[in-house]
Amino acid sequence: MYAILATPVLLVFALALRRLRNKNTSPLELAAALLAVIPLRQVLVPSDISGFTLLDKLLGIEVAFITAVRLFAYARDS
């Protein structure tokens, strides 16, 4: 479960590698990748568990961090 939780972190590494190779990444590519991460909660957490779990909190923090970093990079480039 925690290996799959690392998926957003792998997205950040892929984005960083593309930037190092001077290939611009479309904001739509990142948005599509982040939207693909959202259904992970439905797969990893049984439906009988209600409320926020540790998995929810970690996924939320990762997605928010990735979005904030990308927005900062976009604002700095503009």
Instruction: Please count the structural domains in the chain.
Output: 1
- Residue pair 55/45 in contact by the 8 Å Cβ criterion: yes
- Residue pair 20/67 in contact by the 8 Å Cβ criterion: no
| Residue from 12, 7, 14 nearest 43 by CA | 7
pLDDT in tens, 13-28: 777 787 777 767 677 7
Q: Name the residue type at position 19.
A: R
What residues make up the domain containing 46?
2-77
**DSSP 3-state assignment of 45?**
coil
pLDDT in tens, 35-52: 877 787 788 778 888 888
Terminal CA-to-CA distance of the chain, rounded, Å?
38
